[in-house]
């Protein structure tokens, strides 16, 4: 009987080990700013994207992903790993609100900002080792092998800032011995090549069960030249090659790899900059010195490209709130200012972003809100691009492609909610993320 019990225990342990071994490698690559129609209409745009088109035909894809408020990189990437809106996860913009400009170089890098469980923690709970390269809001994250998106703005930075933020200690320095210095600051396609080299090295040397990579070169090309410009088209074609490089390395590690390519937001071309700060200064709501530095403020635009949250220094200041409301109505009357709609606090909260905003200014496509104080409210520009507009804008939809053994081939999901992606990826990992507000997507 004792021998029989031993055999039963041994068999159960073997089955458990087999189940653990059967978990596929999951790789998630974010191509920052990639509109889905770069792929779904590649032929019309004369784009050569063999890998992404292969994913579309051989896997599951969304015709578009409806994003968050604002359609910005850091809030969106945090939703991608939490399954909740920015108001709930806490990353409300790319940069913290800083009305006096005390730290203009600060971004929302720290994982401690996130208020809800993430995919990283869900993976750990399921016994999956995790890795990330250049993923936003991962400084200090519980990721086994991590090179976060994080940099020191000082030109004298010797690389120690990122080295100290990476994990485990010494990993980045060891990788740099063979790969050269990691490009922490510059976000272009050339440096995406270098980031991919580090991601591939982590796959080969550390064998994580989940790898997430953020490529930002396409985003930069679109900001500088506009979506579907020659520069943007060249960038997305180069990113396609990098995606195949990552996939090939992953497939070598695990023939059953589940490979996901997604993005955080789409893009609109821009013809005008809008300096709401100019109007607020002229109205006496912001005081500045001779150099244009803010010395005091009653109300301040917190800009995010195609939108701007209007923050009150004193949320209970009814007089200032009324003055701001009147100013925004006046600005909206003039079509040159590009204001499509002004939302009140309750309407803004209902969209899942900026929970403390008194108002939200939504600009029309073609106008971009900027933080700088300009001589005029609206200034003409050319051949630029922006995001941050309302998620209801079809051009701001992001991408989602996923393929691997057991997944449906050529399945078009239509439109999906960005909050569905985190629980979907958790399910693929054999993990659970019950705190997500989105429902997992059926990939079969």
pLDDT of residue 1: 47
- Rounded Cα–Cα distance for residues 201 and 197 (Å): 6
**How far is Cα 246 from Cα 421, in angstroms, rounded to an integer?**
21
CA atoms of 390 and 393, how far apart (whole Å): 6
pLDDT at 152: 79
Q: Contact 378/273 with Cβ under 8 angstroms?
A: yes
d(CA 133, CA 151): 13
- For residue 342, report the phi and psi dihedrals to the nearest 5 degrees: -115, 120
* CA-to-CA separations, 29 to 298, 307, 400, 426, in angstroms, rounded: 42, 27, 10, 15
What's the whole-model pTM score? 0.94
pLDDT at position 10, please? 44
Phi, psi of 11, deg, nearest 5: -65, -45
Residue 158 corresponds to which tokens in the numbers above? Answer: 């010797």
Say what the pLDDT of residue 423 is.
99
Sign of the Cα torsion 159, 160, 165, 166 reads positive
Q: Are 62 and 416 in contact (CB under 8 A)?
A: yes
* Packing angle, helices 217-225 and 230-253, rounded to 10: 170
Q: Cα–chain-centroid distance for residue 374?
A: 29
Q: How would you write the pLDDT of the chain (444 residues) with one tens digit per residue? A: 444 454 444 444 444 444 445 799 999 999 999 999 999 999 999 999 999 999 999 999 999 999 999 999 999 999 999 999 999 999 999 999 999 999 988 999 999 999 999 999 999 999 999 999 999 999 999 999 999 999 877 666 667 889 999 999 999 999 999 999 999 877 899 999 999 999 999 999 999 999 999 999 999 999 999 999 999 999 999 999 999 999 999 999 999 999 999 999 999 999 999 999 999 999 999 999 999 999 999 999 999 999 999 999 999 999 999 999 999 999 999 999 999 999 999 999 999 999 999 999 999 999 999 999 999 999 999 999 999 999 999 999 999 999 999 999 999 999 999 999 999 999 999 999 999 999 999 999
3-state secondary structure of 361: strand
What domains, with CATH codes, occur in the chain? Answer: 25-267+393-429 (3.40.720.10), 269-386 (3.30.1360.180)
pLDDT for res 104? 85
The DSSP letter of residue 22 is T
Question: Do residues 82 and 89 lie in contact, with contact meaning Cβ atoms separated by under 8 Å?
Answer: yes
């Amino acid at each position: 009987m004792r021998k029989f019990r031993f055999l039963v225990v041994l068999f159960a342990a073997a089955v458990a080990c087999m189940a653990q071994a059967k978990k596929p490698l999951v790789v998630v690559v974010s191509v920052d700013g990639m509109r889905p129609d770069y792929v779904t209409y590649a032929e019309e745009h004369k784009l050569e994207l063999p890998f992404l088109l292969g994913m579309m035909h051989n896997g599951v894809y969304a015709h578009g992903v409806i994003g968050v408020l604002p359609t910005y990189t850091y809030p969106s990437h945090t939703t991608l790993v939490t399954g909740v809106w920015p108001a709930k996860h806490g990353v409300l913009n790319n940069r913290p609100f800083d009305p006096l400009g005390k730290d203009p170089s600060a971004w929302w890098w720290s994982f401690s900002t996130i208020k809800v469980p993430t995919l990283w923690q869900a993976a750990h709970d399921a016994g999956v080792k995790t890795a990330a390269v250049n993923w936003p809001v991962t400084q200090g994250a519980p990721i086994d092998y991590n090179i976060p998106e994080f940099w020191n703005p000082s030109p004298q930075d010797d690389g120690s800032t990122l080295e100290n933020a990476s994990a485990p200690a010494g990993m980045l320095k060891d990788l740099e011995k063979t790969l050269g210095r990691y490009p922490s600051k510059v976000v272009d396609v050339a440096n995406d090549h270098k980031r991919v080299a580090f991601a591939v090295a982590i796959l080969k040397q550390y064998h994580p069960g989940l790898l997430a990579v953020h490529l930002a070169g396409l985003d930069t090309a679109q900001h500088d030249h506009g979506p579907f410009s020659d520069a943007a088209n060249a960038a997305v074609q180069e990113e396609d090659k990098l995606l195949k490089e990552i996939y090939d390395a992953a497939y070598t590690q695990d023939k059953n790899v589940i490979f996901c390519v997604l993005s955080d937001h789409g893009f609109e071309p821009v013809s005008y900059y809008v300096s709401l700060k100019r109007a607020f200064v002229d109205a006496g709501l912001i005081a500045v010195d001779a150099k244009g530095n803010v010395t005091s403020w009653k109300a301040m635009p917190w800009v995010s490209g195609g939108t701007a949250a209007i923050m009150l220094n004193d949320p209970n200041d009814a007089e200032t709130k009324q003055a701001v409301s009147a100013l925004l109505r006046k600005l909206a009357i003039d079509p040159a200012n590009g204001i499509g709609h002004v939302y009140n606090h309750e309407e803004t909260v209902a969209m899942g972003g900026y929970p403390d905003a008194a108002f939200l200014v939504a600009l029309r496509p073609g106008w971009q809100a900027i933080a700088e104080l300009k001589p005029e409210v609206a200034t003409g520009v050319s051949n630029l691009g922006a995001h941050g507009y309302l998620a209801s804008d079809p051009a701001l939809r992001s991408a989602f492609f996923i393929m691997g053994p057991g997944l449906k081939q050529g399945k078009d999901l239509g439109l999906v909610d960005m909050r569905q992606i985190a629980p979907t990826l958790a399910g693929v990992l054999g993990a659970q993320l019950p705190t997500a507000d989105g429902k997992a997507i059926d990939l079969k």
